[in-house]
Amino acid sequence: MNCSNCKQDIPNDAKFCPHCGIEYSTHEHAASSDVEPSNIHDRQQPSAPHPNIVKATTFINAYWAFFIDSLKSPTPHGETADKKHYIYGYVTFGLFSIIYGFIFFFMTRPLHSFSLYVYQDSFSFSKTFFPALFLMILITLMTVLIIWGVTRILLHVNVSFHDVVGRFGAFSTLYLALAVIALILSIPRIYGLLALFLVLMLLVYLSSIFAVVYSYKKQSKTKVDPLYATLIVYGVLFIILALFWNRLALYIGMNML
């Protein structure tokens, strides 16, 4: 315990303080023994973290485990992903869409110097990042919608939209990992490697579509081969992009002017 006079440490059974000489009675020892442990307990009791912080930490850890498992074993993990994992799918879509927006911004940043031909403000962050972000989100959701429609109509699989979101999100973790590398390469403008990774990203994106469609083969109630179903997904997606590409390009251009 501590001396009440000089605040120095003294033995619990001391009759007097060896530092200042003050005497202690038995009653004072008993009172000190009763009070001090509770004070120590109060001082050592840690404050509970905020519930929202606990929820956020739990979700981040769960998504990280989902990401690592999907990256290590894309096929087995992707085939078991369903609507229980749909929130992770949306997080994956959001992350690689954000990264794509940053890549587009860093790729167009050198155009600031061509002030003779364009206004420098045309390639500001808000006029390059956000159009690319919204474009990637739109393409991704369109892809999931087409996969869902083809799976239900051609393969006759009773699957929900969120099932496809969870499964496509699991197969898209490799795409997300490549997007992170491409972002790193876009900052110092290593365009050679960046172009290679952009091509790899496109191939992985198309492969993820095939993997999702093929994963429903065992549940299919028709004789339609998943390969042909995947080609139909590609065809519908490319037709939609071709029909609306001019409008999308105009939208991006108008936002950059």
Provide CB contacts within 8 A for 193, sequence distance 6+.
Answer: 185
Buried b (16+ CB within 10 A) or exposed e, 24-53: beeeebeebeeeeeeeeeeeeeeeeeeeee
Which tokens hold the place of 248? 């999308």
- How many helices and strands, by DSSP H and E, does the chain display? 9, 0
Among residues 179, 190, 211, the alpha carbon closest in space to that of 97 is found at 179
Residues 51 and 231: their CA atoms lie apart, in Å, by 47
pLDDT band at 61 (very low <50, low <70, confident <90, very high): very high
Among residues 92, 94, 97, the alpha carbon closest in space to that of 136 is found at 97
* Burial degree of 218 (CB within 10 A; 0-12, 13-18, 19+): exposed
At 102, which helix (H) or strand (E)? Answer: helix 86-108
Residue percentage of the chain with pLDDT more than 90? 50
Residue ranges per domain, the chain? 1-45, 56-256
What pLDDT sits at residue 34?
Answer: 46
Q: Are 100 and 205 in contact (CB under 8 A)?
A: no
Residue pLDDT, tens place only, 19-53: 666 666 544 444 444 444 445 455 555 667 778 88
Residue percentage of the chain with pLDDT more than 70? 75
In the block, residue with structure tokens 């929130």: 87
Q: Is the model's pLDDT at 256 over the cut of 70?
A: no
Residue pLDDT, tens place only, 100-152: 999 988 887 776 555 444 455 556 777 788 888 998 999 999 999 999 999 99
Residue pLDDT, tens place only, 66-95: 999 999 998 998 888 888 899 999 999 999
Q: Is the model's pLDDT at 181 over the cut of 80?
A: yes
